[in-house]
Amino acid sequence: ATQLGAMTMIQGADTVACCRKFHAENHISRICLEHGVCVEHVLENQLPGIEFLDCREDMM
């Protein structure tokens, strides 16, 4: 998905460790160790999926 332009995000120390163990870092857009960082990113930036759903609601 990341290669096609989608944003991929993982969170949490265990998830990050697993990602690193299997050398998957290059397939992830955002790696967050703390929950607050991910939440902050989501709140500050509009995510494409949510933006699309908002547009559909306006059309109905």
In the chain, where are the structural domains located?
Answer: 2-59
Per-residue pLDDT band at 2 (split at 50, 70, 90): low
What span, in angstroms and rounded, lies between the C-alpha atoms of 3 and 46?
20
SS3 for 12? coil
pLDDT score for 21: 92
User: CA torsion sign, 21 to 27 to 33 to 39?
Assistant: negative
Reading the block at residue 38, the tokens are 């991910």
Over 60: is that where the pLDDT of 36 sits? yes
Over 70: is that where the pLDDT of 15 sits? yes
Per-residue pLDDT band at 4 (split at 50, 70, 90): confident
* Residue recorded with tokens 């949490």: 12
Over 60: is that where the pLDDT of 50 sits? no
Average pLDDT over all residues of the chain: 71
pTM here?
0.47
What span, in angstroms and rounded, lies between the C-alpha atoms of 3 and 7?
9
